[in-house]
Amino acid sequence: MPLPEPQTPDWVRDAVFYQIFPDRFARSLHVSKPTHIDAWGATPTHHGYQGGDLVGVVERLDYLLDLGINAIYFTPIFQSASNHRYHTHDYYRVDPMLGGNDALRLLLDEAHRRGMKVVLDGVFNHASRGFFQFHDILENGRESAYLDWFTVHEWPINAYDYSKPPGYGAWWNLHALPKFNVASPPARKFLLDVARYWIDFGIDGWRLDVAAEIEDDDFWREFREIVRVGNPETYIVGEVWRESKHWLQGDMWDAVMNYLFTRSCIAFFCGENTNLEELATTSFRTLDPTGAPAFRAAIETLLEHYHPNINAVLMNLLSSHDMPRFLTLANGDLSSLRLATLFQMTYPGAPSVYYGDEIGVSGGHDPANRAAFPWHDRDGWDRELLHEFQRLIALRREHSALRRGSFRFLHANDDVIAYSREDSQESLIIFVNTSTETKQVTLNLDGRLAAINALNEAWTHERIVVENGMMRDVRLAPRSGRVFATSIVS
């Protein structure tokens, strides 16, 4: 029996996310810190802390508001002996170095007061060696009361000698990350209770770390039911780098981090200029076919994977904490980032900006992609790039068709694409030229677009007359994009 039409949170259609790595975004003087932490802006390392915290984020919320952000996704914030906090010690305690639970309360209140949503990272596949129930196994061995929370293969288990296997189920066989046995009723209940607790606390959604590693569909169905009882508009987004139809039928998750989108954008907007050495460090490994026809084929295939209600809430990203920054993959070419961001902000789904991308922060593979936000070096910000991000985000927020309208390619040849976004109120046609040469394009409009008499460019307000459905001789400067909008003539 087929599932009913998937229902996804309405607010995500209007969201522009900002992804924050808490240790590296902003440090407040109002949160005490241990003494042995790195200087803010020091070269990032795998293990060193730079002391960012949630109160620091609160103090920068107006910066995000000015950027146009209305949703934040945080990588993990719960107590952990790691700067990335994917090694969770206590799922009910916000890390004291981040300001503790009181700081999260303040953040949620201040974000919600500004109309911003907050999504947290849920690390439910694995815990850490310091997680109490696993630590009990380390201390008590076969006599541990929590033995069924994890899967032990051999005794004695080996948690610290990396020259030997751990002897227990662990993510990617990493000793530091013992994998939960979600088939264990008490472990399962613990994780589902955690998920519901923070929804009741006031968060707006969960991003699910390595979610495909929990190969138990009933767990995810229970997860969805439990958090949706707490908040029917909870956003559930999984981290999967491949096609994800299995989980996106309406009974488990709402969306995934759309890395297939990212991969296609690298191939088209960076193209042959892509830093292949850095790309090889990602899960993508190699560069997809370049050029406009290949990009069109990739995007149309991606859209065909999922129901429109799913496509409308996929988290569309260009960079993240798990890959080199887009600007680095583009070998520092700002035009690649600008054009990719134009597409990102005019494409269905929820755009996600990785902290610092908007001012030109670069960085290769982890840990270089996790540098401190340069509040200490504002002279080094790329202000023109920042203004471009503000302009593109504002464009998205001003036009309902960019958030909720249909998407259709109108042209894809050589290095030029054109596509439409339409709803009942308006039509937009967007052109992107990734060539280093000027291009001139004529479009033969059909369907509802053929009823248009004229279009106005979004920023310059240049007017182009449409005659008999023909949009003639649109001039595109090298490495540029143009956006035209109009109300549909009925």
DSSP assignments along 186-202, one per residue: HHHHHHHHHHHHHHHHT
Angle between helices 100-113 and 185-201 (to 10 degrees): 50
Q: Indicate which residue of 23, 222, 239, 415 is catalytic.
A: 239
54 neighbors 94 (Cβ within 8 angstroms): yes
Query: Rounded CA gap, 338 and 432, in Å?
Result: 11
49 neighbors 21 (Cβ within 8 angstroms): no
Task: Give the Å distances, CA to CA, from 98 to 19, 30, 80, 117.
Answer: 16, 11, 11, 19
Q: Indicate which residue of 23, 53, 95, 209 is catalytic.
A: 209
Query: Rounded CA gap, 275 and 283, in Å?
Result: 14
Taking phi over 0 as left and psi of -120 to 50 as alpha, with beta for the rest, 446 belongs to beta
**Catalytic annotation on 216?**
no
Q: Which two three-digit tokens encode residue 436?
A: 């280093």
Q: Which two three-digit tokens encode residue 459?
A: 């920023």
Q: Which two three-digit tokens encode residue 262?
A: 């990212």
**Catalytic annotation on 209?**
yes
263 neighbors 318 (Cβ within 8 angstroms): no
DSSP assignment letter at 377: -
**In degrees, to the nearest 5, what angle opens at C-alpha 358 toward C-alphas 356 and 361?**
45
Question: In this structure, how many other beta carbons lie within 10 angstroms of the beta carbon of residue 146?
Answer: 18
Taking phi over 0 as left and psi of -120 to 50 as alpha, with beta for the rest, 238 belongs to beta
Q: 321-355 burial, b for 16+ CB within 10 Å, e for fewer?
A: bbbbbbbbbbeebebbbbbbbbbbbbbbbbbbbbb
Chain position carrying tokens 């201040």: 110
- 304: helix, strand or coil: helix
Q: Which residues are catalytic?
A: 209, 239
